[in-house]
Structure 1
Amino acid sequence: MENGSGVVMGNPATTQGIELLALHRITKLIGKAVDLDTTLASVMQVLNDTMRMERATLLLLDKETQRLAIKASCGLTAAEELRGIYKPNEGVCGKIFQTRAPFVVPDIHDEPLFLNRTGARPAMKGKLSFIGVPVVVRGEPVGVLSVDRLFGLDVSSEEDVRFLTVLATLIAQFITLHEEIKRKEAKLQEENRSLKAKLHSLHDGHFIVGHSKPMREVYSIIEKIAPSSVTVLLLGESGTGKELVARAVHDSGGKKERPFVKVNCAALPETLLESELFGHEKGAFTGAHATRPGRFELANHGTIFLDEIGEMPLSLQAKMLRVLQEKQFERLGGSRTFDVDVRIVAATNVGLEQAVAEGKFRADLYYRLNVVPIVLPPLRERQEDIPLLLNHFLSMSNQRNSKALMLTSELLDFLLDYPWPGNVREMQNMVERMVILAEGDRLTLADLTPGVLSWRSAEQGDLHISREDPPAHSVVRQKVVPLARKSLQDIERDEVEAALRRHGWVQVRAAEELGLTQRQIGYRIKKYGLSRIDSYRL
């Protein structure tokens, strides 16, 4: 028998089929749900389209106002939804909420508890039924699910009550899962803030981000030398964060409240650099109209950071050696000797041992500087830190530019394998550029510059990155040389397989040797189809 709504009634098999179809559609919606409000509205739409249930409405308890308010509906206007607010003990919905039991109104025109506060029910003479069931989470009511029905005199509402009760249980589970996800996200965000605060405390807010093994070794050295005033030599490629580490060395010791003075030895010609370091007397050279103290005087009892020390002229290196040995110097054009108590942190991105061998750097000065060398790893050798750094720079850039952009997984995978020739500095500038120029709400491969994207093509070409064996404490430099037969992928496959063989196919040890994470080496094993059996067959 067909009722006035077009739904076939009275045939249990047909009714159950429609209910199963509706539940199938609803569970598919919930299974791939991202947004709670959108999903609940779609569920209400299924009730209307599949079950012919009119004005399907979900009311949830607002914990702040302690009122039942419409969370999702189908067939109500925005104005009608706003009017649908009830006290927990008010009307039919309040009765359902308090008793935690279903309630059927055979005809809303004859029920004094039916308030029709939304004003959505039409003024009609025909019979209009109202069915509501409670939504219960952990034994406590949190809302009410209700629908309107057009029934004939001979149609029972028991099947609808049973179906809506099942659906209310699904909705309760969905709400519970959503709240649990929100709690976990809040917990993760709090842990993230806590870790950043800990890192902030450790390095006084300089945010040396990273927990890879090479960076943990750097942190360990910083902690060990913190109580002393030993000279430190920072080695590493350009952009690896030598200035941040120099500042952390200063702040971790007893000179934290003392001056921290920076000098770039490659930025000035010899005469000006000498004046910058040691100061000058009035009339010492053209333009010296007044006596001026140098950076060593300004850094007295503190720390001086000499960046690009490898570019210092030979003639000036002798005076630098005297400062290191005797802690004394004279201003340019003066005869007075100044005593200075200063910690020296020097940095270079060139191999000083090679410069000594070529006569470009004094051996005695090198040995004086190289008391405690700290090698800062290039970004390609600390890949597990890349997501942390990307998140850090993206968060800071979003804040500066009032945006809320996120990285796509495709872009993250690309950046994990990108060699980062400019290291952390390149990443910071790249993220800033993408955030400023981005048009969507997510950063994709299309937001990268053509130069960065061309790396993927070059990786598949006839180029091979080789490394010469460097002398101790020198900086590894990359050379690109032609390769006649093998591509980069072939070479990578051979290196991964060779490392696995050397370590008896123990992936953890092979990954550690190659500077990869377990996930990355697992990906490469799968990518190249490597297996222990095939290796033995070879």
Structure 2
Amino acid sequence: MRKQDMWSNGMYRISKVLFAPTQLGMVLDNFLNTLPLILPMRHGGLDIPGAKGEIKITATTRNSGSHAATHCTVPKAAMDQIMAAGVRLVIPDICHSELFKDQIKTSWSGIVPAAFIAVPVKVDHEALGMLWFERASESGYDYEEEVHFLSMAANLAGVAIRLHRTFSRGGQAFAEEQQEQQNSRGEERQSSARQRLLKNDGIIGESPALMAALETAKFVAETNSTVLLRGESGTGKECFAKLIHDHSTQRKKPFIKVNCPALPESLLESELFGHEKGAFTGALSQRIGRFELADGGTLLLDEIGEISPAFQAKLLRVIQEGELERVGGTKMLKVDVRLICATNKDLETAVRNGQFREDLYYRISVVPITLPPLRKRDGDIPLLAKAFLQRFNEENGRGLHFVQSALDHLSRCKFPGNVRELENCVRRTATLARSKTITSSDFACQTDQCFSSSLWKKADRFALR
């Protein structure tokens, strides 16, 4: 495997581990023990000093190799150097380092000649601590790629730690609070509360897969971190983006959305960045772009995986610098936008194939959230079907309802188009219903009139991967 592919796959694996909806201690343990699968390291650790009211975090990899030290203490001088300056530290051989001369005789005595690499863990340009690892020392070896990868991993870890600390209550982790609340309620009461909560946010369901995605979304909403919503078409990415906005500190500011593939590249640039009068043929007046309209609020870039590599470079600059120029303009404009991106595309494969910029991938995939397809949301289809039918009744002055056998039939369907296809199925069936009671015989698939069923085999193949 090429190194570029290895780094891309490794970063995707790390992001999934760091933003799993579980306790911080377990998250960091899993994170540290994922690193040796990617980097040629023998031992590593994470050190985060405790700020006021916060607990110090110290974690190390579980390395059972014969050359691993049982207890590797990083010199305080080394940590102070990294924390104070916020810069990385690379020592090709700790045996010849003044920083390690005292530790070599004690805690690092079991290690053969080793290189030490450490980077600061940063959030919003603030150094929270450091992430480090040691590896076999190689004369003349260039450690730059490994340092770059470790820096990106450290930044993701910093975001995860900040999120957990933000949502801590009285020193108790957010995930622990949620677990205590669930244990204190009866199953029926908990299910009812969840349904009410989800309906209020426009998302209906109570399956474990959906609840995990929802918990992560609300967990990150209170921060300014960029979110990448992933999932098949029709899984509700736009609804989740709106939910994140509504639970964020920008909730009173604009929520702007752009469907990237709906516009050709020339118009997409004008749509996002705006243009000046006379910038091109037909530009009869100045236009404010979506980035400016979303200033102080949230911008959703839907299906970002479909934009061209040329436009990706322009978009990357705006995301990195927080500033833009309107098409045909010369003035640099500052914007402060919380970015949410959505895609149903396999971006890792697109990066490997040169179709999507690697640097842009890392910029937008800070907090990835994968939305489950409907076929993996056990028990949610009847809830959704009833809600869609109720909406249809309210819009059309009807009083239709499902019998249980009809709901059971829907639950057995594949729905490769996910929630969007289910809603269409309910509306079609309700529109053609001859009585107020909808039975399983009223569905189009019972008379071979459901043309989308031809996609079910494709969904089955996908599910078996």
Structure 2 length-normalised TM: 0.55
Q: Which residue of 2 aligns with 1:402?
A: 397
Q: Residues 360-509 of structure 1 correspond to what in structure 2 (within 5 A)?
A: 360-450=355-445, 453=448, 465-467=460-462
Match of 1:266, SS state, is helix
1:464 and 1:199 mapped to 2: Cα distance? 26
2:204 and 2:457 mapped to 1: Cα distance? 35
Q: Is the 8 A contact 1:319 1:329 kept in 2?
A: no
1:457 and 1:238 mapped to 2: Cα distance? 14
1:111-148 Cα distance to aligned partner (Å, 9 max, x none): xxxxxxxxxxxxxxxxxxxxxxxxxxxxxxxxxxxxxx
Q: Residues 134-283 of structure 1 correspond to what in structure 2 (within 5 A)?
A: 197-200=196-199, 205-283=200-278
The alpha-carbon deviation at position 469 of structure 1 amounts to 8.6
2:421 and 2:290 mapped to 1: Cα distance? 29
1:284 and 1:456 mapped to 2: Cα distance? 46
Alpha carbons of structure 1 residues 469 and 319: separation in structure 2 relative to 1, 3 Å: farther
The alpha-carbon deviation at position 410 of structure 1 amounts to 2.7
The alpha-carbon deviation at position 409 of structure 1 amounts to 2.7
Match of 1:421, SS state, is coil
Larger Cα Rg: Structure 1 or Structure 2?
1
The alpha-carbon deviation at position 444 of structure 1 amounts to 2.2
1:227 and 1:452 mapped to 2: Cα distance? 49
1:142-173 Cα distance to aligned partner (Å, 9 max, x none): xxxxxxxxxxxxxxxxxxxxxxxxxxxxxxxx
Alpha carbons of structure 1 residues 431 and 285: separation in structure 2 relative to 1, 3 Å: same
The alpha-carbon deviation at position 437 of structure 1 amounts to 1.7
Number of equivalences? 277
1:468 and 1:195 mapped to 2: Cα distance? 27
1:454 and 1:436 mapped to 2: Cα distance? 15
1:198 and 1:379 mapped to 2: Cα distance? 19
Q: Which residue of 2 aligns with 1:334?
A: 329
CA RMSD of aligned residues (A): 2.9
Q: Is the 8 A contact 1:401 1:436 kept in 2?
A: no
Q: Is the 8 A contact 2:414 2:459 kept in 1?
A: no
Alpha carbons of structure 1 residues 411 and 468: separation in structure 2 relative to 1, 3 Å: closer
2:431 and 2:464 mapped to 1: Cα distance? 41
**Bigger RCO of structures 1 and 2 (CA < 8 A, at least 6 apart):** 2
Structure 2 letter corresponding to 1:265: C
Q: Which residue of 2 aligns with 1:70?
A: none
1:474-507 Cα distance to aligned partner (Å, 9 max, x none): xxxxxxxxxxxxxxxxxxxxxxxxxxxxxxxxxx
1:300 and 1:463 mapped to 2: Cα distance? 41
2:245 and 2:367 mapped to 1: Cα distance? 14
Alpha carbons of structure 1 residues 194 and 293: separation in structure 2 relative to 1, 3 Å: same
Structure 2 letter corresponding to 1:199: L
2:222 and 2:334 mapped to 1: Cα distance? 22
- What percent identity do the matched residue pairs reach? 47
Match of 1:246, SS state, is helix
Structure 2 letter corresponding to 1:331: R
Match of 1:428, SS state, is helix
2:194 and 2:204 mapped to 1: Cα distance? 10
Match of 1:261, SS state, is strand
The alpha-carbon deviation at position 453 of structure 1 amounts to 4.6
1:315-339 Cα distance to aligned partner (Å, 9 max, x none): 1111111121111111111111111
Alpha carbons of structure 1 residues 354 and 457: separation in structure 2 relative to 1, 3 Å: closer
The alpha-carbon deviation at position 430 of structure 1 amounts to 1.4
1:401-431 Cα distance to aligned partner (Å, 9 max, x none): 1122121233222211111011001111211
Q: Is the 8 A contact 2:272 2:289 kept in 1?
A: yes
The alpha-carbon deviation at position 206 of structure 1 amounts to 3.6
Q: Is the 8 A contact 1:196 1:207 kept in 2?
A: no
The alpha-carbon deviation at position 463 of structure 1 amounts to 8.9
Alpha carbons of structure 1 residues 452 and 422: separation in structure 2 relative to 1, 3 Å: farther
User: Which of the residues 288, 301, 318 maps onto 1:306?
Assistant: 301
**Which consecutive unaligned segments of at least 5 residues does structure 1 have?**
1-189, 471-538
**Which consecutive unaligned segments of at least 5 residues does structure 2 have?**
1-188
The alpha-carbon deviation at position 223 of structure 1 amounts to 2.1
Structure 2 letter corresponding to 1:299: A
1:82-111 Cα distance to aligned partner (Å, 9 max, x none): xxxxxxxxxxxxxxxxxxxxxxxxxxxxxx
